[in-house]
Structure 1
């Protein structure tokens, strides 16, 4: 269940006073038509314009953000939620918050965020667009955006996205527009979830030949910090190399302390463990050690809740899936955080006169398991996990049973078609 993000409730008296002061300053600036500086005399070569108002322009008050009117006297439910984002980013200093808001509005105008053409930014190959995608929510209901740069190991994809200043600018504009798309999933109503999680996968992206990616990550983080305050609850950097720590130290002074407090770093061997702190295992993609599969026909995050178990060092445990009624197929998922364990699957019938069935002989587990077995008599499927290391492991698993008609039964009982009598 999503944790409510307070709008007015829970604020300290000094914070309520700051919000009231910002509302007053904003009302005066909009009434005096001083919220935005006059447009520059010459159009920027990168600026996209059109003849009419953009989707975030309100014809009555002249200013809106993400569909929310900024004029406080309009009494919109989301206005205070937007203002509090800027206040929190400036430690509840109203004058600085108003200045930040004005700069963000000018940046949106000059960047062309609010124009129809901006929404049509394309960057070519589908594989490039697949490097950034939304996938589920975290434990508190924040939408999760994944950014995976390992696809750019392919030289053709790298050239498409970062081969020239023009392609880099296009990728940047597309990625910012994708941020706008993610914001549409948020709610600015009281109690709504109004921020998201950004997961940045740096695997295979820190070589000297891929310096443009590092520059792009920095640019995007700065853009989000300056123009999307409090829209990112956490930046989770995964598959982080020692080289990245050195690079991060060089430009970390560009970020505010509030932004840096949102950074979480995970080395390659800590990726799943780190993500589990924020995201339920049934929502973590399988490539990151979770149990979520795209277009999964067996489980969904809603009907495929995952159970967890701790496996002690130098210990062994079993997961038992009992089956009372025969004629079903049992399907199960299993993953081990930290891997480096041995794994076996057997079916043990309740009838002592029946034979055990070895489903999977013992092997070293190096990836997530998805398996199934048809049960023709009561019994149980037993999954055995053997930890021969000196480190504790964390086991994630789930299962389901579904009625099944064996194929040989269907073949041995062909359908007899009735013949209609003919009239002559």
Structure 2
């Protein structure tokens, strides 16, 4: 098998021939359940949701009339006001983006959009939503775990991750949701996370005007969180219309149909069209379609660690795939004597063999086993390592998937720092 052309001067993926695995027997026909059908629909078809551009010139004439009518009625019923520091009346194009969100949420029916907008303005004042970002609500243990902003998707949307599996611990559940006051405080914190994400939006025609939500359903105690989930859903739908461009559900368990049937009556068809479903064991491949690996948290098959976020924008990663029955070698050449190479590498749902070795250029020098071949467990996070070369050569990172028939997505990145000594 001929090796593909190099990715760049110093990055080469070499694919080695391996015997093709025997075809697996065809499965017997079975009756599809709700979850299977939903997953297939989400996987096999292009999502029907199409995000608005918010250019007034792109609107239908009836939609432009509805926008002007909403402005006129807002002036009569309420007068000038602002939302997210944007004056809603006065000709600001950012205001058009916000008003169009409320119109879109009610299919451009002004008679429904205006009450929704007025209630939202009233709620924001009562909730003091404009100042909530600066509050210390005392949920340090939940930050970066339950709900948090992390990176952007491939189109520039900020991404909000949600995971409620920690609440399967009864003590944790009682500390956070033990009574009505605790629940109210948690809801305030959850709104705070969303408001932080909204501050990253442009509110500009043609700009980034919505978020991506990734919700991890692993270990989520559905019965215990029913009340909190309903409150969150109600708050967001009533006061943050069209703020989410796509909802990605990951680690979807067998009981998703029960959750979906519980929430479905409260969801519009437009909201449902934003859903992407990813079952357990398929998370990295699903997320890579929408988010670059350097922006995906390591626990979901990416390269992003919370400790890295303080060092500015993440260094871009190179993506590749490892087919079933295939071994891939990544060769990083041009490493000088005394230089230090630092690398990150991850393979979605690993379950394969990985190794790293340094190959000197000089004839007669020995190859150094930097990381001996070892089987990487499916749940293991990205590998981060470094090596200082005593002589010139190249680093070879190997991932061996010859024992599997399953294709896997993968990514790596590296930095080479030359020696400062003479």
TM-score range, shorter chain: 0.7 to 0.9
- Cα distance in structure 2, aligned partners of 1:13 and 1:230: 21
Partner residue in 2 for 1:185: 200
How far has the Cα of 1:79 moved from its partner?
1.3
Equivalences for 1:310-389 in 2 at 5 Å?
310-366=321-377, 367=380, 368-387=382-401, 388-389=403-404
- Cα distance in structure 1, aligned partners of 2:74 and 2:278: 41
Equivalences for 1:19-418 in 2 at 5 Å?
19-30=67-78, 61=80, 63-71=81-89, 74-109=90-125, 111-114=126-129, 123-130=137-144, 131-206=146-221, 211-296=223-308, 301-302=313-314, 304-366=315-377, 367=380, 368-387=382-401, 388-404=403-419
Q: Does 1:10 align with 2:92?
A: no
Higher relative contact order (CA 8 A, sep 6+): 2
Structure 1 or 2, whichever has the larger Rg, is 1
How far has the Cα of 1:25 moved from its partner?
2.6
The more displaced of 176-185 and 327-336 is 176-185
Partner residue in 2 for 1:44: none
- Cα distance in structure 1, aligned partners of 2:284 and 2:243: 24
- Cα distance in structure 2, aligned partners of 1:298 and 1:102: 39
- Cα distance in structure 2, aligned partners of 1:299 and 1:170: 32
Q: TM-score, normalised by structure 2?
A: 0.80
Task: List per-residue Cα deviations over 1:172-219 (Å, max 9, x = no partner).
Answer: 12212332232222222333322112222222223xxx6232332232
- Given that 2:84 and 2:130 are in contact with CA atoms closer than 8 Å, whether structure 1 keeps it comes out as no
- Cα distance in structure 1, aligned partners of 2:119 and 2:160: 25
How many residue pairs match? The answer is 367
Q: 1:401 to 1:264 in 2, by over 3 A?
A: same
2:276 alignment partner, SS class: strand
Q: 1:225 to 1:313 in 2, by over 3 A?
A: same
- Cα distance in structure 1, aligned partners of 2:335 and 2:188: 57
- Cα distance in structure 1, aligned partners of 2:65 and 2:134: 41
- Cα distance in structure 1, aligned partners of 2:302 and 2:216: 15
Task: Report the aligned-residue RMSD.
Answer: 2.5
- Given that 1:128 and 1:161 are in contact with CA atoms closer than 8 Å, whether structure 2 keeps it comes out as no
Q: 1:397 to 1:283 in 2, by over 3 A?
A: same
- Cα distance in structure 1, aligned partners of 2:305 and 2:133: 29
How far has the Cα of 1:294 moved from its partner?
2.1
Q: 1:216 to 1:225 in 2, by over 3 A?
A: same
- Cα distance in structure 1, aligned partners of 2:200 and 2:151: 11
- Given that 1:121 and 1:170 are in contact with CA atoms closer than 8 Å, whether structure 2 keeps it comes out as no
- Cα distance in structure 2, aligned partners of 1:166 and 1:125: 14
Q: 1:129 to 1:163 in 2, by over 3 A?
A: farther
Task: List per-residue Cα deviations over 1:272-295 (Å, max 9, x = no partner).
Answer: 122212211111011111001223
- Given that 1:327 and 1:377 are in contact with CA atoms closer than 8 Å, whether structure 2 keeps it comes out as yes
1:310 alignment partner, SS class: strand
* Unaligned runs of at least 5 residues, structure 1: 32-60, 410-424
How far has the Cα of 1:154 moved from its partner?
4.0
How far has the Cα of 1:395 moved from its partner?
2.1
1:78 alignment partner, SS class: helix
- Cα distance in structure 2, aligned partners of 1:129 and 1:392: 34
